Amino acid sequence: MGFIDIGAGFSLFNYQLYFFIFAPILHPGMTFLEEIKRRRTFAIIAHPDAGKTTLTEKLLLFGGAIQTAGAVKSNKIKKATTSDFMEIEKQRGISVSTSVMAFDYRNYKVNILDTPGHEDFAEDTYRTLSAVDSVIMVIDCVKGVEPQTRKLLEVCRMRNTPVIVFINKMDREGQNPFDLLDEIEKELKIKVRPLTWPIGIGKSFKGVYNLTAKSLNLFQGDSKTTVEETLTINDINDKQIDQRVGVDFAAQLREDVDLIDGVYDTLNTQKYLDGQISPVFFGSAVNNFGIHELLDCFVEIAPGPKERDTDKGLVKPDDKKFSGFIFKIHANLDPKHRDRIAFLRICSGTFERNKYYHHVRDNKELRFSNPTAFMAQQKSVIDEAYPGDVIGLYDAGNFKIGDTLTEGNDFQFKGIPSFSPELFRYVNNMDPMKTKQLQKGLEQLTDEGVAQLFTRKVDGRKVIGTVGALQFEVIQHRLKAEYNASASFDQVSLYKALWISCDDRKKMEAFMQDRSAHIALDKENRPVFLAESAWLLQMAQEKFPEIQFHLKSEF
Ligand code: G4P
C-alpha cells in the first residue's frame, strides 16, 4: 500500500478567472450538523437555449457572488461545427471555470453544479446529476418540453431526484400556462403544483401572483430596465389588482386562481422530496424576474445532503468518517502540464486538507495539499469541507470517474454507472512509434469519461463508444495535442454495448464461447456484448434466456 502526497509541486491551473487564496469555507461557530443542514447542492437542467446560463447568473447575482451580469459564460458550443477545435477547447475551459459555483444565501450554502449544454456531452450531465441532491428544471414557455428536457428528467426520475420547475421567458408570446403545465405533466410524467401564477404573457406580461404569500409581483419596464415591484394585497379580490394590471387581467387571474386548487394537488413537501410532485415558478431570467421567489423557496424546501448507497449499505451525511466520490475529471488545458482536476462530492464526515484518505479501488492512501473550493468564480484552497460540498483535487492520474475516497473504510459508492454508448468506432494507430502514447492517451481520456473503451476478446481491437459524434473529434484532437499520438477511426456499425451477467458460471462461459466474435471487455474487465442490431440482441436473448443484458454497467 503506497502513500502519495498530491498537490505539492504540481503546477496549478492557469485559468485567468481564478484567484488563489487560502480561505476556510466554514462559518465560525457552526457545528458539523449545522454545516450539513445548510447545504443545498443542485444542478440546473434545461434544453439548450431555455435559459440555464442566464438563470445561473441571476442566482449568483442574488447570492451576491457576482456583481455584474455577463460574468457567467454560456458553456455551450453554440455555433461550433464538429471540427471547430477552438470552440471545443473553449468549451472545456469554460466548463471547468463554471463546474461548481457556490455562494451563501441567507444562512444557506448553495452549490450549483453546472451541466454541459451540448447533447453530445449527455454522459457528463448524467454523472453530474449523481452528485446533486435536487435540480431546477428550466422550460422555455414558447417551446415547452423539448427533447433534452425529456432525457434529463428521465435521469432524475431514475433517482427520484426532487425537481423544481422554472418556466422562463414569460416576456415572450408563449403558451397558455394551463396548457404548458398539462404538457409538462403528460410528457415528463410528473405532477406539478404552481406556486406563482402569471398574469398575461409576452407583450402583455404584467407579473406573477404569489399563490403562497398572496402577493403580487409586478413586471414593469422594457428589455433593458426591469423593475420588479411587490404589492401586498388583502386577498385575490383586492381592488388594487384591477388598478395595477387592469380589469380584464384581474378577472382572468381570479378565474385562474379559482381553477388552480381544483386542478393541481397541494404541495406536499415530502412528495416533492420523493420526486413525486414539482413546484412551479414563472418568470423571466433575463429580466431578473421571478428569481427571488424561486431562490427563497428553493433554499427552504430543497433537500440538504442525502444519504447515499454503497456496495456495503447506506452512508449518512452525518457519519463522522469522511467519504466521497469522483464524478468528473478535467484535464489541464495546458498540454505541458498533464495534471488533472478531479471533482469530489463529499458524502459524509469532514474532509481535511493534508490528511491521508483511502482510495478504495487502488487500495492506496492519498493526501491533498491543495484541495480547492469554488466560491462563484473564486477558487480557493480550503482546509475543510462538508457533506454536500464539491471540491477539486489535483490528480496526476490516480482517479477514474466513480472512484470512492474514504477515511479507511472499504466501500464503493453506487449510482455512477456507465451507459451503453450510442456511437462506436475502431481505433487505428497511425504512428506505430507512438503506440505507448496512444494507449496512455486512450486510458486517461476514458478515465476522464470522455468516452468508453472496449477491447474485443477475439482480436484485442479497441472500440471506442460515445454518446455523440463530437467526442471522436475531441479524442483525436486531444490525443495529438496532449499525447503526441495519432489515431484514426473506422466506423463500426453497432446497436448497443450491453453488460452481461449470469448466476451460472458455466452458462456464461457457454454464451461467451458461442458469441465470441461479439464479446468485449470494458476497462474494468467486465464482459460486454456488442450487439450489431436490435434483432441480433433479441436472438441472443431468446437462445440464452439465463443471460442478463444490461444497458448500464451497474445492475
Ligand atoms: P442555455 O444556457 O439554457 O442554453 O440558455 P441561455 O441562458 O444562454 O439563454 C439562451 C437565450 O435566451 C439567450 O439569448 C438569453 O439572453 C435568452 N433568455 C434567457 N432568459 C430569457 C427571458 O426570460 N426572456 C427572453 N426573452 N430571453 C431570455 P441569446 O440571444 O442566445 O444570447 P444573448 O442575447 O445572451 O447573447
Nearest to 439 by CA among 402, 488, 483: 483
pLDDT-based confidence at 13, cuts 50/70/90? Answer: very low
CATH for 308-406 is 3.40.50.300
Q: How far does the centroid of ligand 1 lie from the alpha carbon of residue 398, in Å?
A: 39
The type of residue at 407 is E
Q: Taking the C-alpha atoms of 265, 131, 440 and 462 in order, what is their torsion angle to the nearest 10 degrees?
A: -30
Is the pLDDT assigned to residue 9 strictly greater than 60?
A: no
* Comparison of pLDDT for 225 and 409, the residue scoring more: 409
Q: Is the CB of 290 under 6 A from ligand 1?
A: no
* Comparison of pLDDT for 340 and 43, the residue scoring more: 43
Tell me the C-alpha distance between 146 and 527, whole Å.
Answer: 35
Q: Is the CB of 323 under 6 A from ligand 1?
A: no
Question: What pLDDT score was predicted for residue 72?
Answer: 62
Is-contact 285 51, C-beta < 8 A?
A: yes
**Mean per-residue pLDDT, 67-90:** 52
Tell me the C-alpha distance between 529 and 512, whole Å.
Answer: 9
Question: What pLDDT score was predicted for residue 230?
Answer: 82
* Comparison of pLDDT for 374 and 19, the residue scoring more: 374
Map out the domains of the chain as residue ranges. Answer: 38-301, 308-406, 423-550
Is the pLDDT assigned to residue 23 strictly greater than 60?
A: no
Report the DSSP beta bridge partners of residue 196: 210
Q: Supply the residue whose CA is at minimum distance from atom 35 of ligand 1.
A: 54
Helix runs in 264-404, H state only = 269-273, 291-301
Would you say the CATH fold of 423-550 matches that of 38-301? no
What is the rounded average pLDDT for all residues in the chain? Answer: 86
The secondary structure of 25-94, three-state, reads CCCCCCCHHHHHHCEEEEEEEECCCCCHHHHHHHHHHHCCCCCCCCCCCCCCCCCCCCCCHHHHHHHHHH
Is-contact 382 390, C-beta < 8 A?
A: no
Q: How far does the centroid of ligand 1 lie from the alpha carbon of residue 40, in Å?
A: 25
Taking only the tens place, the pLDDT of each residue in 424-459 is 999 999 999 999 999 999 998 898 888 999 999 999
Tell me the C-alpha distance between 134 and 299, whole Å.
Answer: 11
Q: Is the CB of 291 under 6 A from ligand 1?
A: no
Low-confidence winner among 63-67, 128-132, 451-455 (lowest mean pLDDT): 63-67
Question: What pLDDT score was predicted for residue 77?
Answer: 41
Low-confidence winner among 25-34, 239-248, 340-349, 399-408 (lowest mean pLDDT): 25-34
Collapsed DSSP state (helix, strand, coil) of residue 407: coil
The type of residue at 394 is Y
Q: Supply the residue whose CA is at minimum distance from atom 31 of ligand 1.
A: 49
CATH 3.40.50.300 fits domain 38-301: yes
Nearest to 295 by CA among 115, 45, 58: 58
Q: Supply the residue whose CA is at minimum distance from atom 9 of ligand 1.
A: 51
Q: How far does the centroid of ligand 1 lie from the alpha carbon of residue 140, in Å?
A: 10
Question: What pLDDT score was predicted for residue 243?
Answer: 92
Nearest to 289 by CA among 381, 205, 226: 226
Is the pLDDT assigned to residue 298 strictly greater than 50?
A: yes
The secondary structure of 18-40, three-state, reads CCEEECCCCCCCCCHHHHHHCEE
Question: What pLDDT score was predicted for residue 78?
Answer: 43
Question: What pLDDT score was predicted for residue 478?
Answer: 86
pLDDT-based confidence at 120, cuts 50/70/90? Answer: low
Tell me the C-alpha distance between 361 and 259, whole Å.
Answer: 56
**Mean per-residue pLDDT, 481-508:** 94
CA 38 vs. chain centroid, Å, equals 21
Helix runs in 417-469, H state only = 435-447
Question: What pLDDT score was predicted for residue 377?
Answer: 57
Q: Is the CB of 115 under 6 A from ligand 1?
A: no
| Host H or E run for residue 345 | strand 340-348
Question: What pLDDT score was predicted for residue 4?
Answer: 46
* Comparison of pLDDT for 88 and 213, the residue scoring more: 213
Cβ atoms within 10 Å of 67's Cβ, excluding its own = 9
Q: Is the CB of 49 under 6 A from ligand 1?
A: yes
Q: Is the CB of 389 under 6 A from ligand 1?
A: no
The type of residue at 123 is E
DSSP assigned state of 495: S
Q: Is the CB of 172 under 6 A from ligand 1?
A: yes
> Which cell numbers in the block locate residue 211?
399563490
Sequence-distant (6+) residues with CB within 8 A of 434 are 483, 484, 485, 486
Is the pLDDT assigned to residue 203 strictly greater than 60?
A: yes
Question: What pLDDT score was predicted for residue 83?
Answer: 45
DSSP assigned state of 259: H
What is the Rg, in whole angstroms, of the alpha carbon atoms belonging to the chain? 25
* Predicted structure pTM score: 0.85
Tell me the C-alpha distance between 207 and 290, whole Å.
Answer: 9
* Comparison of pLDDT for 187 and 83, the residue scoring more: 187
DSSP assigned state of 121: G
**Mean per-residue pLDDT, 171-176:** 94
Instruction: Identify the architecture of domain 423-550 in CATH.
Output: 2-Layer Sandwich (3.30)
Question: What pLDDT score was predicted for residue 181?
Answer: 98
Tell me the C-alpha distance between 196 and 177, whole Å.
Answer: 11
Is-contact 146 52, C-beta < 8 A?
A: no
Is-contact 196 253, C-beta < 8 A?
A: no
The type of residue at 409 is N
Is the pLDDT assigned to residue 291 strictly greater than 70?
A: yes
Sequence-distant (6+) residues with CB within 8 A of 296 are none
Q: Supply the residue whose CA is at minimum distance from atom 4 of ligand 1.
A: 49
Is-contact 350 32, C-beta < 8 A?
A: yes
Is the pLDDT assigned to residue 197 strictly greater than 90?
A: yes
Collapsed DSSP state (helix, strand, coil) of residue 96: helix
Collapsed DSSP state (helix, strand, coil) of residue 203: helix
Cβ atoms within 10 Å of 311's Cβ, excluding its own = 12
C-alpha dist (Å) from residue 373 to 22, 69, 112, 134: 10, 22, 12, 20
Q: Please state whether beta strands 207-210 and 215-221 pair in parallel, antiparallel, or not at all (unpaired).
A: antiparallel
Residue 75 alpha carbon, nearest atom of ligand 1: 2
| Host H or E run for residue 243 | helix 239-245
Tell me the C-alpha distance between 60 and 138, whole Å.
Answer: 16
Q: How far apart are the first and last CA of the chain?
A: 30
Q: Between the ranges 8-17, 217-226, 337-346, where is the mean pLDDT highest? A: 337-346
Tell me the C-alpha distance between 390 and 168, whole Å.
Answer: 28
* Comparison of pLDDT for 306 and 17, the residue scoring more: 306
The type of residue at 320 is K
Taking only the tens place, the pLDDT of each residue in 92-104 is 555 555 578 888 9
